[in-house]
């Protein structure tokens, strides 16, 4: 009996939740990943076309996939979708020209069968830059309020400094708090 309990305990403690970090090239995905990692780093294993890191928050493991955003790589994003619980979409808030492409990619993901249960966290990154769009502007442009079938949240941020991170969605605890909503 004790063994079974121990096994169950270890199963739940070691359960990994999958997070994918997507967005156009130069949006700040890798910088954001490393902001998440500054708290508890477990290991790194760079792979071709993507980068995966594991973070542990109060015994809960998150496997975070940082996926290349160049045009040639976007068509293979869907190979990372299965079992994803969180989609982190990083937007460069200064990149007005390409916001339409981010929008297109966002809705393509939301319509994908493998992502039907995933929650979406959008980072309006590079808020330190002059003339950047605000999170509210980006939210409006992406028509986030029309998304009814996925939990979503938009967070303005500056991944470079991680400023304001502790009380924001850029802190790993945020993912943990949202898990019950996603499950
Ligand atoms: P990607 O992984 O999405 O392609 P990166 O993007 O994380 O590699 O970031 C692309 C560039 O944007 C990097 O600059 C990085 O330092 C910068 N960047 C990321 N976040 C911010 C931010 O919040 N503010 C500012 N000002 N810059 C940011 P380099 O010069 O290294 O290419
Ligand atoms: Mg990168």
Where in the chain are the domains?
Answer: 2-182
Name the β-bridge partners of 63.
18, 54
The ligand whose atoms approach the alpha carbon of 33 most closely is 1
Q: Is 132 in contact with 118 (CB distance < 8 Å)?
A: no
What counts of helices (H) and strands (E) characterise the chain?
6, 7
pLDDT tens track, the chain, 183 positions: 566 776 666 556 567 899 999 999 999 999 999 888 875 545 555 556 788 889 888 888 999 999 988 888 888 899 999 999 999 999 999 999 999 999 999 999 999 999 999 999 999 999 999 999 999 999 999 999 999 999 999 999 999 888 777 888 888 888 988 888 877
The ligand whose atoms approach the alpha carbon of 92 most closely is 1
Give me the active site residues, please.
Answer: 70
pTM for the model stands at 0.90
Question: What's the maximum distance between 2 C-alpha atoms anywhere in the chain?
Answer: 62
Tell me, in angstroms, the distance from the centre of ligand 2 to residue 35's CA.
13
CATH class, range 2-182: alpha beta
Task: Give dist(CA 3, CA 1) in Å, integer.
Answer: 5
Tell me, in angstroms, the distance from the centre of ligand 1 to residue 132's CA.
14
Query: 79 labelled as ligand-binding?
Result: no
């Amino acid at each position: 009996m004790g063994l079974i309990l121990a096994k169950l305990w270890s199963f739940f403690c070691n359960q990994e939740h999958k997070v994918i970090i997507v967005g156009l090239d130069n949006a700040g995905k890798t910088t954001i990943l490393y902001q998440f990692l500054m708290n508890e780093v477990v290991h790194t294993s760079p792979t071709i076309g993507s980068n995966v890191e594991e973070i542990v928050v109060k015994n809960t493991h998150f496997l975070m996939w940082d996926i290349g955003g160049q045009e040639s790589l976007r068509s293979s994003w869907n190979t990372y979708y299965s079992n994803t619980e969180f989609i982190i979409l990083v937007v460069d808030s200064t990149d007005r020209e390409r916001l339409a492409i981010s929008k297109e990619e966002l809705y393509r993901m939301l319509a994908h069968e493998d992502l039907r249960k995933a929650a979406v966290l959008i980072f309006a990154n590079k808020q330190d830059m002059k003339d950047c769009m605000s999170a509210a502007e980006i939210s409006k442009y992406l028509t986030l309020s029309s998304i009814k079938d996925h939990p979503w949240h938009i967070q303005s941020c500056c991944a470079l400094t991680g400023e304001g991170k502790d009380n924001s969605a850029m802190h790993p605890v945020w993912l943990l708090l949202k898990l019950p909503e996603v499950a």
